[in-house]
């Protein structure tokens, strides 16, 4: 009976949608888009991947290596400081809609963490 109910739940419209929500920020994984207060946030694939990884576990600190492997893949042969540029651009885009809020924090000597915004 439980298996039948689980199958029926998955067949309902919108059942497979995956969204991450933190205050006014929403990341729709299935549609590959992010919004702040309902307005679409124009992100590159790398910026979207970073936001998705950081929002999935708020408060967790990710090293540059962690972020590169999760966003770019294990075969990435670039310089690990490219993450810094993507984070800088992501912060700039978020700050246009949420000024004066530190959404992505730098943990000196370790990496980056997502700080959920206040609505």
The ranges assigned to domains in the chain are 17-114
Q: Can you give the pLDDT of all 119 residues of the chain as single tens digits?
A: 888 777 766 665 555 558 899 989 999 988 899 999 999 999 999 999 999 999 999 999 999 888 888 887 766 666 667 888 999 999 999 999 888 889 999 999 999 999 987 75
Token pair of 38, please?
């309902």
Residue 41 CB neighbours (<10 A): 20
Q: What is the pLDDT of residue 75?
A: 66
Tell me how many helices (H) and strands (E) the chain has. Answer: 4, 6
pTM of the model: 0.79
Query: Which pLDDT does position 107 carry in this prediction?
Result: 93
**Beta-bridge mates of residue 39:** 36
Say if residues 52 and 19 touch (Cβ distance below 8 Å).
no
E strands present in the chain: 19-22, 25-28, 33-36, 39-41, 104-107, 111-114
End-to-end CA distance of the chain: 41
CATH tag for 17-114 (out of 1.10.3720.10, 3.10.20.30, 1.10.10.10, 3.40.50.300)? 1.10.10.10
pLDDT given at position 49: 93
């Amino acid at each position: 009976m439980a298996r039948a109910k689980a199958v029926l739940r998955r067949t309902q419209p919108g059942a497979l949608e995956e969204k991450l929500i933190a205050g006014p920020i929403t990341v729709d994984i299935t549609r590959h888009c992010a919004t702040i207060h309902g307005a679409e946030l124009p992100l590159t694939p790398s910026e979207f991947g970073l936001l998705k990884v950081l929002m999935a576990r708020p408060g967790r600190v990710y090293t540059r290596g962690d972020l590169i492997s999760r966003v770019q893949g294990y075969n990435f042969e670039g310089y690990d400081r490219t993450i810094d540029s993507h984070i800088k651009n992501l912060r700039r885009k978020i700050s246009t809609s949420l000024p004066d809020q530190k959404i992505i924090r730098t943990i000196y000597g370790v990496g980056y963490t997502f700080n959920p915004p206040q609505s």
